[in-house]
Amino acid sequence: MPTNDELATLLEEMADLLDAEDVEYKPTAYRRAAENVREHAEPVEELAAEGEDAVAEIDRVGDAIAAKLVEYVETGEIEELEELREELPVDMAALTSVEGVGPKTVGTLYEALGITDLDELEAAARNGEIREVKGFGPKTEQNILGGIDFARQAHQRTLLGKGRPLGEAAREFLVGIEAVEEAELAGSNRRWKETIGDVDVLAASTDGEAVVDAFLDWENSTETIESGPTKASLRTGDGVRVDLRVVDPSEFGAALQYFTGSRDHNIHLRNVAIDRDLKLNEYGCFDVSGVDDPDGSQRVGDRVAGETEEGMYGALDLPPIPPELRENTGEIEAARDGALPDLVAEDEIRGDLHAHTDWSDGDATVEEMALGAAEFGHDYLAITDHAEGPGVFGNMGLAPEEIREQADAIDGARDALAEAGHDLELLHGVETNVDADGGLSTPDDLLAELDVVIASPHAALDQDRGPATDRLVAAIEHPRTDVLGHPTGRMINERAGLSPEFDRLAEAAAENGTALEINANPQRLDLRDSAVRVAVEAGAVVAIGTDAHRPGAFAESRYGVHTARRGWAETDDVLTTRDVDGVRAFLD
């Protein structure tokens, strides 16, 4: 049966196809419905079994969209979507992954040149055909050509925000199989990398065939790629490959360590083992000091560890190394020296300083966002709607007088919180824009009136390294900037964003008492993990913010936490682990 994510993807495809045909209003309705379908707590296919009225109870899912979702659950297709695909037979997802190519551009290029996929787009750009289409030109053509390689590479990787929940669903399914003793994610998914290739899961069992048979019947599976006595691979409805490996329970720890990786981490560990006359592999750790040919068999020698992952590291006199750190960037040396960081944890996050409402481009009211944050468990929330300025989505940024007017809505939400028995502290802020020279788009006198000022780049994201660095340092040094928001402006798999000198940003942030944001939206994760490490080593503070546009997005804070962990961040390095008094002290 289709997952919520698969159904949401169909609605997004409909939105893009309608957008390409210049249909008004409907694309926005479909995209907002898709967001809420994806985040809905219950499986929508179960609601569909109850009828269209049950599906229409999902926020922003009207009767017409509910009918289409029920139609897909019952028949496996949406008639209107099939008609749209026939009218515009293009690989919309691939084409729109090229920066600067939106659905309308896809529609125009199809009508003018018959372009349906990336290969045809590239050929047309190289042949100088795109510049001849009305509304285009040589520069646009060159930009498109320059973005195709990035799009091809990005198209092969799945965002963590999609791969991690899918992996967790696969693990939960495996744990429910009677023959399975334990199961865990592996690979880059377990290391919380920003993108993954395939979803890897491990199961401990003495009956591999029973586990494989049950796994191939998983409801999320639409295609069996391959299967054997202890291995299987399937593909889900949204095209992600899931690989299962079943191992003996006595070797589960060894397999978990080995298949979590990374490759470089494992090679380094094996070399440490060799220096101690030990052999380390996916089957265990073996003492081969008395073995003439240690390479003669995988299980040669006396087995000293393998049942648990902790035992595998312990056999090398090392403490367990958190999966997020296993990239061979000094973690093994730190473990040997007792210098591993005490990494920040998900349950230490106390609040969120970056959230939007329907005053700008959000989907919920101030009150709904405040109540949502309180119910999520936060102690404080800052409403930071977009200020007007270049690059803001749909030109929906607020003018100074509108930001001041919003204060009444903030006060109203505070009253609603009190009436509901919540003691969440609601702060009033803004996400102002960093222009190409580092100036802020909101007047200083207004910034001085607000609790929180996030300064973020939204335009001119193709600047060279030097000017980009100067621009961001100027924003950090602005006396009213509290947080530099999503510093590079990147969108993973969509645009590369700025490439500043992170050491200069970190030094400026530490000197000026400005926090650097880890934007937890899985499409951003900006600062990226390597930049987080530069920041914390320089003594800068990072702030994990969800950039939430709806209450359900507060749960995405976990992606920010694990990005911080990958950057070796400890609790004290993260502003949003502090209580509201600690946050106010930093802001002041």
Question: What Å distances lie between residue 45 and 5, 52, 70, 73, 207, CA to CA?
Answer: 11, 11, 8, 6, 32
pLDDT at 399: 96
- Tokens 């949502």 correspond to what residue? 372
Backbone φ and ψ of 374, nearest 5°: -65, -45
pLDDT at 100: 86
* CA distance linking residue 417 with residue 414, whole number of Å: 5
* CA distance linking residue 87 with residue 81, whole number of Å: 10
pLDDT at 119: 87
pLDDT at 394: 60
Question: At residue 75, what is the residue type?
Answer: T
* CA distance linking residue 588 with residue 573, whole number of Å: 18
pLDDT one-digit tens code per residue, 384-415: 999 998 767 667 899 999 999 999 999 999 99
pLDDT at 151: 81
Kindly tell me the burial class for residue 140, based on how many C-beta atoms sit within 10 Å of its own C-beta (0-12, 13-18, 19 or more).
middle
pLDDT one-digit tens code per residue, 235-249: 998 889 999 999 999
pLDDT at 293: 86
pLDDT at 1: 65
Asked whether 404 and 446 are in contact (CB, 8 A), the reply is yes
* CA distance linking residue 577 with residue 124, whole number of Å: 51
The ranges of the chain with pLDDT < 70 are: 1, 154-155, 391, 393-394
pLDDT at 84: 95
pLDDT at 41: 79
Task: Note the Cα 73 to chain centre separation in Å.
Answer: 27
Specify the DSSP class assigned to residue 202: E
Domains delineated in the chain: 4-155 (1.10.150.110), 158-247 (3.30.460.10), 252-336 (3.30.210.10), 346-587 (3.20.20.140)
Question: At residue 1, what is the residue type?
Answer: M
